[in-house]
Amino acid sequence: MDEPLTRLSEQDLTLEGGALLPDKEVLSILDLFVNLDIAIDLAAPVDLAIAANANVAAPIDAAATANVLSVGSTAGALAHQGVMIDQYISGEALASAPQDAVIDQSNDVVDGGDVTGGADTGGADTGGTQTGAVDTGGVDTGAIDTGGATDAVGDVAAGGLLDGPLLNVNVDASIDADLAAPIAGAVAANANAAAPIDAAVAANIATIDSTSTAVADQTADINQTMDDVTASATADQQADITQ
């Protein structure tokens, strides 16, 4: 048996006190500053020519049958195909891809941004060079007395090691890239293609006294002729690139 819980009385609750927690410190783990100036000149002229003379024939004949978990059944498949193909090609396949590319990527000037903002009068105003910084009041013993030194030490001790980021990364990169890829291609072809396909499939699966027959009879007469044909592919490229 578990012991019964003891409840707090009103007197116990009255004696209990609480205090506000102090403010949590804000800690920066990473201070990242990235300044990228990227200038990319990309040119990729593409010229492609394709020429073809082709005869394609693909007669397909298929038969399929099956007996699945059947008793005393007969499955028969017959695929009979008679094909006569006569292909004749007489002609020319010419592909020409002339390309003349003039690419000028000589402008390598990367804009440095607004110069006025980086050299404004606020950075060199009279407030930064006022006479109050060099008068006798600025070099008196009050400025270097022990009280001032004690305050300085107190400021350093109050800062602690957690003031500021643990990792400070400052990246300033300028990238200027010139990319040129002129491409010229030419393809010429003369082709005769014939693919007669005949298939028959018969199956008995988990059956008793069953007969499965598959017959595939194919007769193909294919005549392919190329007479005085020409396949010519020319890729002429002239590229004048200035980077």
Q: What is the mean pLDDT of each run of 10 residues along the chain (243 residues)?
A: 73 73 62 84 88 90 90 90 90 89 75 44 41 42 42 44 66 85 90 92 91 91 89 89 82
**Residue 22 forms part of a structural domain:** no
Q: Is the dihedral of CA 124, 128, 132, 135 positive or negative?
A: negative
**Residue 167 forms part of a structural domain:** no
Q: Tell me, what's the pLDDT at 151?
A: 44
Give CA–CA dist 92/71, Å, rounded: 62
**Residue 194 forms part of a structural domain:** yes
Summarised one tens digit per residue, pLDDT across range 136-180 is: 444 444 444 444 434 444 444 444 545 556 677 888 888 888 888
Distance set, CA 228 to CA 55, 189, 214, 232 (Å): 16, 14, 44, 13
**Residue 223 forms part of a structural domain:** yes
State how beta strands 183-194 and 211-226 pair.
Answer: unpaired
**Residue 168 forms part of a structural domain:** no
Provide the domain limits for residue 62.
47-97+185-237
**Residue 120 forms part of a structural domain:** no
**Residue 117 forms part of a structural domain:** no
**Residue 16 forms part of a structural domain:** no
Maximum Cα–Cα distance across the chain: 124
Give the residue among 182, 190, 194 at the shortest CA–CA distance from 220: 194
Give the ranges where 56-164 is alpha helix by DSSP (H): 115-118, 146-159
Q: Tell me, what's the pLDDT at 237?
A: 87
Domain count, the chain: 1
